Amino acid sequence: MQKLVQGIHRFQSEQFSKDQKLFETLVDGQHPLALFITCSDSRIDPNRLTQTKPGELFIQRTAGNIVPPYGSILGGEAATIEYAVAALKVRDIIICGHSHCGAMAGLLTPEMVESMPAVKAYLQHAEATRRIVEENYTHLTDPAKRLTLTVEENVLVQLESLRTHPAVAAAIGRGDLKLHGWVYKFETGDVFAFDPDQNQFLPLQDVTSPVSEKQRTLPPI
């Protein structure tokens, strides 16, 4: 706790004064560039990763960057998505998974979360991810590669779930919203984006088409 308190003091004495004009403009409201949905994992810093300033990202964090289908839970996830699209008029939504995801490891190994009933129940919203991996990739036995594949598949599954939200579906239909699937490898700093033309995750700089423009099938392994 002391480290956090010291950090607040440094922010107030150093960072705030340096960017005071920026912070003062935030009083007038927010106009974020995108909604960034990612995992609650402490190893991910969305603003640092994207080099964005306060006010530029609307951020939603959930275990395993899971987006429950609309109507299954009318809670914080649905409210955040609806507000971002309907009120803030974001033009892009990014779902960003990450390497070594504990939630996805728990999805593959249910006994890991057996003593955590809330986590176990929440992971049911990624059941499609588990079934895709279990039934279509039986040949992939290496644990590390299997986890990486699960992380990637889960991003795509959650994008499908995102489309069930009425505000999202309507905005996509109008051409006002694009969806993007990313995977962040935090140990190297690499970011991979799903390319619907190649049907696989590629380095972000090589991808131009958002996921929402095309339907996808299982990526090759």
- The model's pLDDT over 57-81, given as tens digits with 9 standing for 90+, comes to 999 999 999 999 998 877 899 999 9
Q: What is the separation of C-alpha 178 from the centre of its chain, rounded to a whole number of angstroms?
A: 14
What's the pLDDT at 147?
96
What's the pLDDT at 43?
95
pLDDT digits (tens, 9 = 90+) for 208-217: 667 765 555 5
pLDDT digits (tens, 9 = 90+) for 124-174: 999 999 999 999 998 988 999 999 999 999 999 999 999 999 999 999 999
Does 34 score more than 80 pLDDT?
Answer: yes
Does 218 score more than 90 pLDDT?
Answer: no
Q: Nearest Cα to 58, choosing from 82, 29, 37?
A: 37
pTM, entire model: 0.90
Does 15 score more than 70 pLDDT?
Answer: yes
The single-letter DSSP state of residue 123 is G
The whole-angstrom separation of Cα 121 and Cα 114 is 10
Angle among Cα 144, 147, 153 to the nearest 5 degrees reads: 145
